[in-house]
Amino acid sequence: MNDPGKFILPMLGITVPHPFDDSEWRYEIKWDGYRCQIHWTDRLQVFSRSGRDLLQPFPDLADLAQLFDVPVILDGELIAWENGAPSYYALQKRAPLPHRVVVFDCLYADGEWLCAKPLATRLERMHRVVTTQGKIVVADGIIQKGTALWQSVRDRGLEGVMAKHLGSPYLPGKRVGYWKKFLVMTRQWTKVFTISQSSEGQWLWRMSPGNDSRAVIGTLPAPPGWSAEAQDVMTEKGKGSRPIWRLNRPLVVEVEYRELTTRGKMRHGRIRQWQYHT
Amino acid sequence: MRSLYKGVIGFGLVSIPIQVYKALDDEKVEVHWLHKICGSRIQYQKYCPVCRTEVEAGQLVRGAPVPNGRYVVLDDEPQETPAHDHTVSIISFHLLNAIDPVYYKQAYWLKPMAGGHKGYRLLRDTMEQTNLVALAELTLRSKLSLAVVRAYEGSTLMMHTLHYPESLRQEGTRFGEISVPVSDKEQDMARILVKHMQEPFVPERYPNLAKRQLLERIQALMPTARNTQNYQATEEVISLMEQLRESVSHETRLG
């Protein structure tokens, strides 16, 4: 770990089922975006979780270079901001929206490696080398009150909470218990074989967990811009007065939801990303 | 429809108070340049390539280019509002077809205001009965311009701003002066063809299809409309974090 220009595997967190409170822990909002590692050394590099160059798909991030005075490596989450919330879908689609990097860790600053230092020290250094400006937002954190933060995060429909032990080092590429995430939403890949239409004309996708188009865990409005006119659709049958159309080309859709009802339907479901079935 | 400004028509010793309205819709649909990557509306900067800096309004002067790449600087004289601002002063009357359409610029509706109805009506009706139009000088925010005021169908006055006649490039008037022999027969045939194609002008037959198509396209894209006010994003992220911090500090531990 001598060259600050080289990508470092990001540290990962384990998923835990329940939130907890602990005064040795810091709790942050888990933002739904792309993991993002910023290196500003002799030049700017922005890496994805796997080390891909994020300046390629998001060239607007190039102006991050103007925000630093000393060489740094920062860990954070790239988000696309839409209507008051991060949109993972918009990142996937490279939609023209404002991008921000919420930075939450500092691995290197002004010639010094910080990975072995405790999180509390790294955060202190982070606040000294970077402030909220341009496309950078410095993450806020709350000590001890993990349960309360999780409840607030859930009320606002955000992804979840990251809990980090204040005394822990940064362990590149490791998924260990120093970082724990408790998610508000359950994610699941589903298929859309059939669609219907609301009385207002909005297309509705019917999500099936498996290959049986009759087993549906929920119906969600199709994303803006998607229209069935462009597809070849076949009318299946009228359930009551509302017809159901079968798509000739099914969709593969990742949904997230708070929980399943006793009858197996999604509560607070929404689309996270989608593509045509290949 | 919003009036552009209020003014008066000066006609002899009579002043007719009027309001001026744009007569024609813009034929272009309003579109802006956006940054493709983030969707923000782009800004234009006044940039000095030599000093490599953005130039503020106070540091700008107007310069007129003169030969050999030189400029003479025009110090802006202090603007003084003339006494007869927003006035349409009628100079003379002419036959409509005596003023060639090449000079016409913008068209405006004139609407009479309180105290002006009678003068407005008299001027309009007289011009209609005599087949004359008024040539006028328009003063607007200390700028002068030529204008024509004329009776429009029904009961209205219309105003057209005019280009100054000297702006007409004269060399073009001679473009047709090439002698070619034309027989009487050819002349007759052309006349017959033209007469055959003559018909009443029906404005509804000539819709602006390109504009309609673009407006339809915009309408169809409405569900994808995005608010891309880039500069707000940071404020919103911070405000969200603050709201959460606030709500956490108010909650009881096991609530």
Task: Report d(CA A25, CA A149) in Å as an integer.
Answer: 13
Tokens 């770990």 label which residue? A1
Model confidence pLDDT, tens digit, residues A152-207: 998 888 889 999 999 999 999 999 999 999 988 888 999 999 998 888 888 899 99
**Nearest C-alpha in A relative to B231:** A98
Q: For the segment B115-136, what is each residue's pLDDT rounded down to a tens digit?
A: 999 999 999 999 999 999 999 9
CA atoms of A150 and A154, how far apart (whole Å): 6
> B248 and A102 in contact by Cβ < 8 A?
no
Exposed e or buried b per residue across A62-98, where buried means at least 16 C-beta atoms within 10 angstroms of its C-beta: eebeebbeebbbbbbbbbbbbeebbbbbbbeeebbbb
Query: Dihedral sign, CA of B78, B81, B86, B90?
Result: negative
Is the CB of A225 inside 8 Å of chain B's CB atoms? yes
pLDDT digit string (tens) for B185-221?
999 999 999 999 999 999 999 999 999 999 999 988 8
CATH class of A186-276: mainly beta
Q: How far apart are CA A233 and CA A194, in angstroms?
A: 9
Could you give the CA distance from residue A41 to residue A53 in angstroms, rounded to a whole number? 15
Check B244 against A21: CB less than 8 A apart.
no
Q: How far apart (Å, rounded) are the C-alpha atoms in residues A209 and B171?
A: 77
3-state secondary structure of B34: strand
Number of CB atoms found within 10 A of residue A59's CB: 12
Residue A260: pLDDT band with limits 50, 70, 90: confident
Report the mean per-residue pLDDT for chain B.
Answer: 88
Closest CA to A222 of A201, A241, A243: A201
Q: Which A residues 53-92 touch B at CB under 8 Å?
A: 58-60, 79, 81-85
CB contact under 8 A, B233 and A59: no
Contacts of B245 in chain A (CB under 8 A): 140, 142
Express each pLDDT in B92-104 by its tens digit: 999 999 999 999 9
**CA of B209 to nearest chain A CA: how many angstroms apart?**
24
Structure-token match 């006349």, residue found: B191
Q: Enter the DSSP assignment of A222.
A: P
What is the phi/psi pair of residue B24, to 5°? -120, 140
Quote the pLDDT of residue B117. 94
Task: Measure in Å the smallest separation between the Cα of A233 and chain B Cα atoms.
Answer: 20
Which of the four pLDDT bands, split at 50, 70 and 90, describes residue B2? confident
Checking DSSP bridges between strand B143-152 and strand B156-162, what pairing results, if any? antiparallel
Tell me the C-alpha distance between B144 and B136, whole Å.
10
The pLDDT of residue A35 is 97
Q: Report the alpha-carbon angle A42-A47-A53, nearest 5.
A: 90
Chain B residues in contact with A21 by the CB 8 A cut-off are: 253
Say yes or no to pLDDT of A51 above 50: yes
pLDDT for the residue numbered B162: 96
Q: Which region among A29-38, A104-113, A243-252, B228-237 has the lowest average model confidence (pLDDT)?
A: B228-237
Domain boundaries, chain A: 16-183, 186-276
Give the pLDDT of residue A277.
Answer: 78
Short-list A191, A206, A201, A166, CA closest to A253: A191
The pair phi, psi for residue A148, each rounded to 5°, is: -65, -40
CATH class of A16-183: alpha beta
Q: Which of A60, A81, A142 sits opposite B233 (nearest CB)?
A: A81
Residues 186-215 of A with CB under 8 A from B: none
pLDDT at A42 exceeding the cut of 90 = no
* pLDDT at position A201: 81
Per the prediction, chain A carries an average pLDDT of 90
Chain B residues in contact with chain A using a Cβ-Cβ cutoff of 8 Å: 34-40, 221, 223-224, 226-230, 232-234, 236-238, 240-245, 247-249, 251, 253-255
Best mutation target, A152, A162, A226, to test chain B (most B CBs within 10 A): A152
Task: Give the C-alpha separation, A37 to A72, whole Å.
Answer: 10
Cβ distance B223 to A152 less than 8 Å, yes or no, reads no
Residue B81: the pLDDT is: 59
Distance CA B146, CA B132 (A): 17
Least confident of A98-112, A210-224, B154-168: A210-224
Residues 135-154 of A with CB under 8 A from B: 137, 139-140, 142, 145, 147-149, 151-153
pTM for the model stands at 0.62
* Helical ranges in chain A per DSSP H: 88-92, 119-129, 146-155
What does the radius of gyration of chain B's CA atoms come to, in whole angstroms? Answer: 29
Interface test with B, best of A97, A130, A151, A153 (most B CBs within 10 A): A97
**Angstrom distances, CA of residue A52 to CA of A35, A36, A137, A245:** 11, 10, 22, 40
- Residues of A with Cβ-Cβ distance to B32 under 8 angstroms: none
Candidates A84, A99, A147; nearest CB to B236: A84
Q: What is B198-250 written as a DSSP string?
A: -----GGG---HHHHHHHHHHHHTGGG-----TTHHHHHHHHHHHHHHHHHHH
Which phi-psi region, left, alpha or beta, contains residue A29 (left: φ > 0; alpha: ψ -120 to 50)? beta
pLDDT, tens digit (0-9, with 9 covering 90-100), for A128-162? 999 999 899 999 999 999 999 999 998 888 889 99
Which letter does DSSP use for residue A133 in this model?
A: B
User: By C-alpha distance, which of A153, A186, A195 is closest to A265?
Assistant: A186
The pLDDT of residue B254 is: 40
pLDDT tens across A52-85, in order? 999 999 999 998 999 999 999 999 999 999 888 8
Residues A277, A259: Cα–Cα separation, whole Å: 26
Give the model's pLDDT for residue B252: 47
Cross-chain Cβ contact A100/B233 below 8 Å: yes
Helix, strand, coil share of chain B (percent; to 5): 30, 30, 40
Inform me whether the C-beta atom of residue A95 falls under 8 Å from chain B C-beta atoms.
yes
- What is the predicted ipTM? 0.80
Judged by CB atoms closer than 8 Å, whether chains meet at B224 and A21 is answered as no
